[in-house]
Copies of this chain bind each other. A is one copy, B any other.
Amino acid sequence: MNDPETRDLIQTMAHECIAVRVRLINRLVTAVYDEALRGVGIKASQMNILVAVSMFGPSKPAKICSLLRLDPSTLSRNVERMKKKGWLEAVPGADARSHLLAVLAPGNAILRDAYPAWREAQKKAAAILGGEALDALLARGSRLLNEGLSPDEP
């Protein structure tokens, strides 16, 4: 059906591709958190943002994008939805090009409510990854998060 060389290429890609494996794990892990958090009414994506803003206090959107490596347009759309739910607000900052994102009381309430479900999800995700992959992944992930952190600045 294919010449042998093409078959070889495809075999190599199937057996060694990093992307398909990372993406598979991402789907599995995200599904675990989304399912655990369903009762609380938040999903992993928005929870990541909410936690980040809550950690740093009022923050420029660019800072959150840099931390999480989110495209600005992606964050913009997510913030839009989170404003509508009353979790976030935009307050004017020093620079008129941008505002600061701040967590509102209902946003903090959601985070508190989410904690037990989050713990559950952590357990399940750890089981999916297994000890070795978990440790390496947490270490690498934390490092990448830190690298995305600009010095100072809101």
Residues of the B chain whose Cβ atoms lie less than 8 Å from the Cβ of A38? none
Residues of the B chain whose Cβ atoms lie less than 8 Å from the Cβ of A145? 20-21, 24
- A18–B126 touching, CB < 8 Å: yes
Chain A residues numbered 128-143 whose CB sits less than 8 Å from any CB in chain B: 128-130, 132-142
Looking at the assembled complex, report how far the CB atom of A87 sits from the nearest CB atom of chain B, in whole angstroms.
Answer: 13
Name A's interface SS.
helix
How many chain A residues touch B (CB < 8 A): the figure is 64
Q: Which of B25, B44, B52, B112 contacts A14 (CB 8 A)?
A: B52
- A111–B18 touching, CB < 8 Å: no
Say yes or no for A70: interface residue by CB 8 A criterion.
Answer: yes
Given A13-B115, A115-B13, A133-B140, check contact A68 B2 (CB 8 Å).
Answer: no
* Docked pose: A118 CA to B139 CA in angstroms: 26
- B144–A28 touching, CB < 8 Å: yes
4 nearest A-B residue pairs (beta carbon): A21-B141, A26-B26, A133-B136, A133-B140
- A30–B23 touching, CB < 8 Å: yes
